[in-house]
A and B are shown apart, each in its own frame.
Chain A
Amino acid sequence: MTTASARTDGPPETEPRFEEVADVRARLGEVEYLADDGIGGIVYLADRLGKPVLVEGPAGTGKTELAKAVAKITNSRLIRLQCYEGLDEAKALYEWNYKKQLLRIQAAGIEGSSDQGADWVDLEEDIFSEDFLLTRPLLEAIRAEDPVVLLIDEVDRVEVETEALLLELLSDYQVSIPELGTITARQIPLVFLTSNATRELSEALKRRCLYLYVDYPDMDREREIVLTKVPGITEALADQVARIVRSIRQLELKKAPSVSETLDWARTLMLLGVEKVDEQVATDTANILLKYHSDIAKATREFAKDGGQTAAKSMLG
């Protein structure tokens, strides 16, 4: 059984960034990213094993934030590749600046020289040199000298075939450029891939990554998040906000409120000077939490009912 240290060909061993799991949790807490217990362990593992992390979950639950927070706590530069349908090698990996190359060739032709043979050799080397290489995020991450966190955002938007681009990079941290050869990473970056789970990712991609599912937080954690990210909010209001959002999420909605929407709502309530939420306020501000008309209608209907009635109904269900 091979361990990371026994990898013979590949990027050199990187210094471990974290001492232990508790270290990760503490440092994430310092930058105000309130992580669930599992997250700390997985980030630690990703560092030790040198494997990328695939973060999946509903929209707005802090997946991208995680990568940014990890970049902050390890003092690394964040390199971001935003995926979209139609992403190809030229936009993701590298591209030869062929326009510059063509102009260079034309310029060389104009200057002219008697000894055209040697000239061409020089020119050829010149054209396919680093100057004419446009590095895109993935290649940049590989070639970086300084510590780097690579964020590949919303990887579920690219089609399955395009994922093949990532495979060589994620398993061996190297990129093959036909003219320049294989470029291996100088140090293993921390890689995060995020996905909103709108489609199944391919087996080959999942196999190369550690999997992390970030779900909506539970009530206590959400309250903590509100207290941290919305300065000046009272404990009572934060508690109410967390409770109401939990109740709303239990309804069958088209789109459940995410953490960012909860924070927006909390900030709005503060701005409105609300101290205690009642139906009127909830109904008036519901459009900040819920983005579909049918969802808003359903939520207002639920909260207008008597508490005991709904409980009895749900026990029968």
Chain B
Amino acid sequence: MPPDTALAVTGEPFLDLLGGFIVSLREAGLPVSLTENLDAMEAVGHIPLEDRDAFKYALAATLVKNHSHWRVFETVFEVYFSHRSSAHVLDEDAAAAMADLEDQMDLPPGEGGTGAGGAGGEAMTPEELAEALYQSLLQGNEAQMRAVARQSVRRYAGMEPGRPVGGTYYLYRTLRQLDLDGVLAKLLEAARNAAPEDQNSLDARLEADEYEHRIDQLKAEIEAEIRRGLVADRGVEAMSRTLRKPLPEDIDFMHASRDELKVLRQAIHPLTRKLAVRLARKRRRGRRGPLDFRSTVRHSLSTGGVPADPQFRPPRPHKPEIFVIADISGSVAAFARFTLHLVYALSGQFSRVRSFVFIDGIDEVTHLFEGTDDIMEAIHRVNTEADVVWVDGHSDYGHAFEAFWERAGREISPKSTVIILGDARNNYHASQSWVVKEMAHRARHTYWLNPEPKSYWDTGDSIVSDYAVYCDGAFECRNLRQLETFVDNLA
């Protein structure tokens, strides 16, 4: 249908809603430009609101241009465009499924039956609900799982209108009551007992995976149910702020959870490629080898003897070299975890990466990253095998730098770039900043990346300025966005 009619039908309120949606996305950090905004409004005119999937993907196609932003988009979309009636309408499938479950368990049908606004299964006791949960997971029936999720939230989350509490609290309460770990154990036990004699471990493993998958689906459904309730209670704008998860670029290294680190790891790779290109750029641009006379004459034949197209020998490539010196002490432990990932990713892009880790002693770990495909194994070996404790395992930058200079200082050449990662919290030891001065003197570039916010630099025992004065730049590097800024600013 032509765009104008569609908008006329849905009209002003819909445009306002869409506008609010886009504002929320921008607040979450998604870069939605004006053109994209207009595209979205145009696109929406072509897709009917009823086809919810197509509608969601149509909006995503115009507004989300980076896959790592997808989770945030989905969350905000659920908040704005979910079913928003206050009476928690049970959709027909789920209601029918609930009735089926009750039949299976020989329970009396719940009051209100299967009609809209009804709540089949409300008469269940906690034990019966647990049984229903177990059955639905066993059979993998999605409609039943949805119905069970709805019931669990209604019963256990304890959502009261007007309560100033976040969604995670309700989620925690519900999950604690459901004891999903116990349910999984029961399912696996039953599967093991029911398994035929000749079932091999591969099949057993596949079954286990299937149950885990269903439990993940159930958790997601519970989360969605809680979110729907909160939206109905508090309204859309308030919700979108509290439910937002940070974009991968904004995840703070120091406080990242395990899941967030995983996301970060995936997001690192395009960045290291950019870094490699930046550092190698000056070397590649505009360089040509000497004139290749023979090839030029050959090519001139097609232009009637005129050497219109001079041919050159290919340039000998300069391999950019990187020295990475990373602090892996406790104060920057989380950052250290990330830097090791970064070092590993770098070694894939550069031809020569020498990596060193230190606390108060220093050790070279290049060999641990070379020739291994498994990043986790490499990091594990760094943590266990690197000989970085000299006296007491408290950071001593001075001694570490001295030891570095002794061991490898001579190998820094004008082709090298040196990157030092750490917070410069030196425990009041001697700074030995002459080492950094020498390094900067020899190397092409020297940079310092500090995971602490700038306002903390030089407070307490941090002596960043003593070192940074010799470097080509000291950068705050708390998340990927800042790391990207650093890469962009490279000469």
Residues of A within 8 A of B (CB): 1-4, 21, 37-42, 44-45, 48-49, 51, 53-54, 56-57, 98-99, 102-103, 106, 159, 197-200, 203, 206-207, 210-213, 219, 240, 243-244, 246-247, 250, 252, 254, 277-279, 282, 292-295, 298, 302-308, 310-312, 314-315, 317
Complex Cα–Cα for A111 and B201 (A): 86
Complex Cα–Cα for A306 and B205 (A): 7
Complex Cα–Cα for A305 and B464 (A): 49
Tell me whether B306 and A247 are in contact (CB under 8 A). Answer: no
Tell me whether B374 and A298 are in contact (CB under 8 A). Answer: yes
From A40, A207, A254, A279, contact of B200 by CB (8 A) = A279
Chain B 166-181 interface residues, beta-carbon cutoff 8 Å to A: 181
A58 smallest CB distance to B (angstroms)? 10
Interface stretch (choices B34-42, B127-135, B221-229, B397-405): B34-42
Any chain A CB within 8 A of the CB of B18?
no
Tell me whether A3 and B54 are in contact (CB under 8 A). Answer: no
Complex Cα–Cα for A44 and B57 (A): 11
Any chain A CB within 8 A of the CB of B334?
no
A240 contacts which chain B residues (CB < 8 A)? 206
Tell me whether B373 and A307 are in contact (CB under 8 A). Answer: no
Complex Cα–Cα for A56 and B273 (A): 17
Known contacts A42-B58, A102-B303, A307-B208; 15 further A-B pairs (Cβ under 8 A)? A3-B42, A37-B53, A41-B54, A44-B54, A159-B277, A198-B273, A213-B67, A247-B206, A278-B200, A294-B373, A307-B204, A307-B205, A308-B208, A311-B208, A314-B212
Tell me whether A252 and B42 are in contact (CB under 8 A). Answer: no
> 9 closest pairs, A vs B, by CB?
A307-B204, A38-B57, A41-B54, A294-B373, A210-B61, A206-B65, A311-B208, A307-B205, A37-B53
Complex Cα–Cα for A103 and B301 (A): 11
B209 contacts which chain A residues (CB < 8 A)? 243, 246-247, 250
Number of A-B contacts (CB under 8 A): 160
Tell me whether A40 and B38 are in contact (CB under 8 A). Answer: no
A250 contacts which chain B residues (CB < 8 A)? 209
Chain B 440-471 interface residues, beta-carbon cutoff 8 Å to A: none
Tell me whether B54 and A37 are in contact (CB under 8 A). Answer: yes
Any chain A CB within 8 A of the CB of B188?
yes
Tell me whether B274 and A4 are in contact (CB under 8 A). Answer: no
A51 contacts which chain B residues (CB < 8 A)? 39
B5 smallest CB distance to A (angstroms)? 12
A4 contacts which chain B residues (CB < 8 A)? 42
**Can you sample 19 A-B contacts with CB below 8 Å?**
A37-B53, A37-B57, A38-B61, A39-B57, A44-B46, A106-B304, A211-B64, A213-B67, A213-B70, A247-B206, A278-B202, A292-B373, A293-B373, A294-B373, A303-B201, A305-B205, A307-B205, A307-B207, A310-B205
A261 smallest CB distance to B (angstroms)? 17
Tell me whether B206 and A41 are in contact (CB under 8 A). Answer: no
B44 smallest CB distance to A (angstroms)? 10
Q: Is the interface of B mostly helix, strand, loop or mixed?
A: helix
A246 smallest CB distance to B (angstroms)? 7
Complex Cα–Cα for A102 and B210 (A): 70
B413 smallest CB distance to A (angstroms)? 27
Known A21-B54, A41-B47, A41-B57: A199·B274 in contact at CB below 8 Å: yes
Tell me whether B181 and A315 are in contact (CB under 8 A). Answer: yes
From B51, B188, B203, B206, contact of A308 by CB (8 A) = B188
Complex Cα–Cα for A243 and B31 (A): 37
B40-75 CB mask vs A (1 if < 8 Å, else 0) is: 011101110001011111101110111100100000
Tell me whether A199 and B204 are in contact (CB under 8 A). Answer: no
Tell me whether B36 and A102 are in contact (CB under 8 A). Answer: no
Tell me whether B42 and A49 are in contact (CB under 8 A). Answer: yes
B376 contacts which chain A residues (CB < 8 A)? 252
Known A243-B209, A307-B208: A279·B202 in contact at CB below 8 Å: yes
Tell me whether B273 and A199 are in contact (CB under 8 A). Answer: yes
A221 smallest CB distance to B (angstroms)? 14
Complex Cα–Cα for A112 and B213 (A): 83
Tell me whether B204 and A308 are in contact (CB under 8 A). Answer: yes
B207 contacts which chain A residues (CB < 8 A)? 307
Tell me whether B208 and A41 are in contact (CB under 8 A). Answer: no
Tell me whether B58 and A200 are in contact (CB under 8 A). Answer: no
Chain B residue, CB-CB nearest to A255: B373
Tell me whether A244 and B206 are in contact (CB under 8 A). Answer: yes
B372 contacts which chain A residues (CB < 8 A)? 294
Any chain A CB within 8 A of the CB of B244?
no
Tell me whether A211 and B54 are in contact (CB under 8 A). Answer: no
From A41, A44, A247, contact of B205 by CB (8 A) = A247
Any chain A CB within 8 A of the CB of B3?
yes
Tell me whether A198 and B269 are in contact (CB under 8 A). Answer: yes
Complex Cα–Cα for A114 and B465 (A): 81
Complex Cα–Cα for A244 and B208 (A): 12
Complex Cα–Cα for A48 and B48 (A): 14
Complex Cα–Cα for A148 and B38 (A): 27
A42 contacts which chain B residues (CB < 8 A)? 57-58, 61
A57 contacts which chain B residues (CB < 8 A)? 67
A106 contacts which chain B residues (CB < 8 A)? 304
Complex Cα–Cα for A197 and B70 (A): 15
Complex Cα–Cα for A128 and B205 (A): 69
B164 contacts which chain A residues (CB < 8 A)? none
B447 smallest CB distance to A (angstroms)? 21
